[in-house]
Amino acid sequence: MTQTRGGSDRFLIALGSNIAHPRHGTPSRVLSAAFAALRADGHRVLATSPVIATVPLGPSRRMYANAAALIESALAPLELLDRLQAIEASFGRTRRSQRWSARTLDLDIVLWSRGVWRDRRLVIPHREYRKRAFVLIPAAAIAPDWRDPETALRVKHLLARLTRRPAPPKARAPQGAGPIAQSVEQLTFNQ
């Protein structure tokens, strides 16, 4: 492992798979093997989430297995990205021009303990993670209190915002119901 700075940083990694692998098996087993590959690559895996099944985005028709890992690494973000892409390639991932296509393994850097990173190859925090329950549910299972460096919201709060249901609409008196029916909403009972 190349040490680029003193000490190690933490990274939240999102994992996804929707194609079985000839050696590892089903997509959920692919993710288990990916956790092991992160360890074998020299990263300290601090926590792994449960694997969840999710519907695909875009043209893919296969269900996804998704999870998250909290890792510690001495690599800089771009070096880590290169290592994650090498792990993806070792699982048979090929990068195509079609976005959201089926894949054996997808590893994305979602958050970094040093905050924000932006260049042409990598943006941290991941641009879309706040809108994706399949990222936030596993992330909240292992890093609920990690604060988004741009919104200052915790992962658990981002998930709550994304998944909350709107309040049911207030009942209204039918139009033209007359003053007595309309004033029922205004009644209070004093005991």
List, by residue number, the catalytic residues.
Answer: 93, 103, 106, 108
- Label residues 154-163 b or e (16+ Cβ within 10 Å = b): bbbbbbeeee
Q: How far apart are CA 52 and CA 127, in angstroms?
A: 21
- Label residues 21-35 b or e (16+ Cβ within 10 Å = b): beebeebbbbbbbbb
